[in-house]
Amino acid sequence: MKVVLLAAVASLILQTAPALAQSNAAKDPHAGHNMNMTADSRAAVHKATGVVKKADAAKSMVTLAHGAVPELKWPAMTMSFTVKDKALFDKLAVGKKVDFEFIEQGKSYVVTAVK
């Protein structure tokens, strides 16, 4: 009796596993896809406005005096960011006011877009 019951439970689990996986995929479009996603693709994108104080394309760094970033509970401040793409330096002239997007990458903050 125990063997029959155990076999029935195992059969039920094997039959419902694909349905459960599909159900989870419907809730999470990334479920089961590209399990090696980079931190960049999962990082929250933050937006701020600031004035370029220093731009160093050789070091891929920019210093911005930016306004508050409420979602990070940051007050207005001046800080340095890594710049993801050197092409963004075309928009990062010292003294220019810019709207920018950035992500947290490890212990650094990385500018990913400039408008």
Q: What are 9-68's pLDDT values in tens digits?
A: 455 555 554 554 454 444 444 444 344 445 545 689 999 999 999 999 999 999 999 999
**Average pLDDT score over residue span 79-95:** 98
Q: How far apart are CA 95 and CA 20, in angstroms?
A: 55
Residue pair 59/88 in contact by the 8 Å Cβ criterion: no
pLDDT at 37: 42
Q: What's the burial of 48, exposed, middle or buried (CB within 10 Å: 0-12/13-18/19+)?
A: buried
Of 25-34, 67-76, 87-96, 104-113, the range with the lowest mean pLDDT is: 25-34
Residues whose CB is less than 8 angstroms from the CB of residue 52 and which lie 6 or more positions away in sequence, other chains included = 62, 63, 64, 92, 93, 94, 95, 96, 98
Residue pair 41/85 in contact by the 8 Å Cβ criterion: no
Of 2-11, 79-88, 91-100, the range with the lowest mean pLDDT is: 2-11
For the chain, the residue count is 115
pLDDT at 43: 82
Residue pair 92/74 in contact by the 8 Å Cβ criterion: no
pLDDT at 36: 42
Asked if the model's pLDDT at residue 7 lies above 80, the reply is no
CATH superfamily of the domain spanning 39-114: Copper binding periplasmic protein CusF (2.40.50.320)
Domain ranges, ordered by start, for the chain? 1-37, 39-114
